[in-house]
Amino acid sequence: MKVTVENKKGLNKDLKVFIDKKTMSTYMDEKYEEIKTTVNLKGFRPGKVPKEILKRQFGKAVFTEVLDKVLKDTSTKALEDNKIKPAGQPKLDLKTYGEDKELEYVLSVTELPKINTKVITDIKFDQYIVKIDPKEADTRIKEIAKNQPNFKDASPETKAKEGDLIIIDYNATVDGKSFKGGEGKNTQLTLGKDLFLKGFDKQLIGVMKNENKIVDAVLPENFPEKEFANKNAKFDCKILAIKKPEEVKINDEFAKNLGAKDLQDLKKMVSNQINDEYKNSLDRLSKNQILKELEKIKVDEIPENLIEEEVKILSQGMNEEDIKKSKKNFEEIAKKRIKTGLILNEFGEQNQIKVNEQELQAEIQKQLRMMPGQEKMVMDFYQKNPSAVASLRGTVYEEKIINLIKEKAKANKKEISKEEAEKILKQSQKQQLDQELKDQRKSEKIVNTKKSTQNKTKTKPIKTKSPAKKSKKVSKK
């Protein structure tokens, strides 16, 4: 095989590949030997069919199969030998081919630019460590205890008040008629939370144990029995018990009920939980800092075909007129995205970063946990959509690369308080919003400028007929 690199223009080049007749014949002979053992022709024993007979019977089919294999093998080798990483699928143009002929073709390829990843180790970014004040953990534990109160039976003469837990049996009617779903046994209500029906709780304040109370309430719009939705109902309630809340004792027993070894262990768990709440958001800030620094790395040229593909993605769902107006803006965004992606990918390849099946499945499980109650639907989605799994693999791959950059780059470690973390995150959100507004105004300015230019060209033809023809030609361009 002879390969000549021609027509070099930036990242674009042609690879002229030539395979002599003798090599092609060898490929063909190997294929005939392979099929000889499986072909059954009348008058010949298996494996004894002469090559010339095989050639007459199967020549065209064999050549097509051999040609596909040779093109695949030689084009891959030509790229590897010349250390070319293609940006997209190369174009192949057959020049000479056929049975008993040499093979010649041209491979037109746009290669990925050379990237110096050594400068990545010089990147500086902020790495935040949130120091949680022990008082923060104590406050959170008190909130947990408050939301999990213990209730103690009240004396028979006690009147129910807001915050009490009451247990009732009830029978409901609409216009004196019972209905399906209108009966309840041992129903527990915490007065004041108004979780049953709107206004139901208030009417039970002041009741005593063993008392009967008629409560008026409107059935909800989504009531299962549609004919009774939004109807006024009367609930005949029997008060079975009234329980008073008592303060939960925060001790080792309380901690064990929450899955901790003891109270000290619970404080540690809660402190870690608070830290994690901020860690994910602060890690995103660190990642964004790194990505911004990567954008500063010099890349001489971005492949045009990749820019075109990215612009198509950015302009999905838009009409042609809006695409034309926003093309320059989209191209700028596309170049930044592609550049960052190329740098990350090159760094990942040089450091042999890969995503194994176990890591991929762990990410899928993470997605399932984020959609409680819809696990089966999410799992079915990934099983039926290989592209979605590939996208998820890409996300994990990028995170592994970013984590390695964090290890190798220069981290400016900052220990901050919870309040400082909140301030940093709030400031970041404001900056992001300001940038989005700035980009929006920039896009609107481009559109308005074009509209203004179009309006000016439309007014020119009014003066005379001959200039009108000229202005039409200009506007078409």
State the CATH number of the domain containing residue 206.
3.10.50.40
Q: Which spans in 82-214 are helix H?
A: 134-146
- How open is the CA angle 82-86-92, to the nearest 5 degrees? 85
Query: Is residue 276 packed enough to be buried (19+ CB in 10 Å), middle (13-18) or exposed (0-12)?
Result: exposed
3-state secondary structure (DSSP) of residue 162: coil
Q: Which spans in 82-174 are helix H?
A: 134-146
Residues 372 and 429 grouped into a single domain: yes
Domain stop point among 110, 128, 162 = 110
Query: Is residue 317 packed enough to be buried (19+ CB in 10 Å), middle (13-18) or exposed (0-12)?
Result: exposed
Dihedrals phi, psi of 448, to nearest 5 degrees: -65, -35
Query: Is residue 172 packed enough to be buried (19+ CB in 10 Å), middle (13-18) or exposed (0-12)?
Result: buried
Residues 293 and 228 grouped into a single domain: no
Is 348:469 a contact under the CB 8 Å cutoff?
no
Query: What pLDDT score was predicted for residue 395?
Result: 92
Residues 96 and 181 grouped into a single domain: no
Residues 224 and 283 grouped into a single domain: no
State the CATH number of the domain containing residue 101.
3.30.70.1050
Quote the distance between the C-alpha of residue 306 and its chain's center.
21
Residues 36 and 184 grouped into a single domain: no
pLDDT string in tens for the chain (477-residue length): 999 999 888 899 999 999 999 999 999 888 888 877 777 777 676 667 777 777 777 778 888 999 999 999 999 999 999 999 999 899 999 999 888 899 999 999 999 999 989 999 999 999 998 888 888 889 888 888 887 778 889 998 999 999 899 999 999 999 999 998 899 999 999 998 888 999 999 999 999 999 999 999 999 988 888 889 899 999 999 999 999 988 788 889 888 888 889 999 989 888 888 888 888 899 999 999 999 999 999 998 999 999 999 998 888 888 888 888 888 889 999 999 999 999 999 999 999 999 999 999 999 998 888 887 788 888 999 999 999 999 999 999 999 999 999 999 999 999 998 889 989 999 988 888 887 777 666 656 555 555 554 554 444 443 433 333 333 333 333
- Taking the C-alpha atoms of residue 438 and residue 228, their distance in angstroms, rounded to an integer, is 53
Query: What pLDDT score was predicted for residue 406?
Result: 94
3-state secondary structure (DSSP) of residue 127: strand
pTM above 0.75, yes or no: no
Beta bridge partners of 235: 172, 215
Residues 360 and 400 grouped into a single domain: yes
**Can you give the residue range of the structural domain that contains 301?**
278-457
Residues 68 and 200 grouped into a single domain: no
Residues 434 and 350 grouped into a single domain: yes
Looking up tokens 């695949």, which residue turns up? 72
Query: What pLDDT score was predicted for residue 439?
Result: 66
CB-CB neighbours of 102 under 10 Å: 16
> For the chain, how many structural domains are there in total?
3
Q: 23 in a domain, yes or no?
A: yes
Q: At what angle do helices 51-81 and 21-36 cross, to 10 degrees?
A: 120
